[in-house]
Amino acid sequence: MIRTRLLVLPLLCMTLGCGAYYKSVTVFPAANQVFLTSGDGDIQKPYTPLGQYIYMKEGFRLPVPILGLLKLDDVDPDYVIGTEIASEIRAKGGDGLINMKIDWAAPKNGFFGLFASGGRLFITGTIIKR
């Protein structure tokens, strides 16, 4: 019993006593590039809010056996954010999207294609001009 405590106590102290330190530095891109962030961070104020942004896309798959496994129109958030959203922000006169919230449901194969889904993406935020 005492031997077990002597073995467990140092391990417990090392586990609880070890900590990690992490410091994040936010670097915003140049003014000619669109930036996206989930907060407002250290953005140099004043900036001009241009309005709220809402984007929704739902993918499509045939919900039938075997054919539902084919990726007809799946939602890819990386592609949507990098191309469609960035160009829409530019078209509205903004150069950033702050307080962005992403709700993404991944595509599903279902049961051998039955009840398959192409996924869903819903993004909101505030378009700003620096």
Position 29 confidence tier, pLDDT thresholds 50, 70, 90: low
As beta bridge partners, residue 121 has: 57, 104
Give per-residue pLDDT as tens, 53-100.
999 999 888 878 888 888 888 888 888 888 888 889 989 988 888 888
> What are the backbone angles phi and psi of residue 3, rounded to the nearest 5°?
-65, -40
Q: Is the pLDDT of residue 118 over 70?
A: yes
Contact 57, 121 (CB under 8 A): yes
Q: Is the pLDDT of residue 36 over 90?
A: no
Supply the pTM of this predicted model: 0.67
Domain boundaries 29-129, CATH class: alpha beta
What is residue 121's DSSP assignment? E
Spans of all domains in the chain: 29-129
Closest CA to 86 of 36, 27, 52, 42: 36
Closest CA to 104 of 66, 70, 130, 78: 78
Residue 6's identity, in one-letter code, is L
Residue 5's identity, in one-letter code, is R
- Looking at per-residue pLDDT, the higher value among 29 and 130 belongs to 130
Phi-psi region of 93 (alpha: psi -120 to 50; beta: other; left: phi over 0): left
As beta bridge partners, residue 49 has: 128
- Looking at per-residue pLDDT, the higher value among 13 and 97 belongs to 97
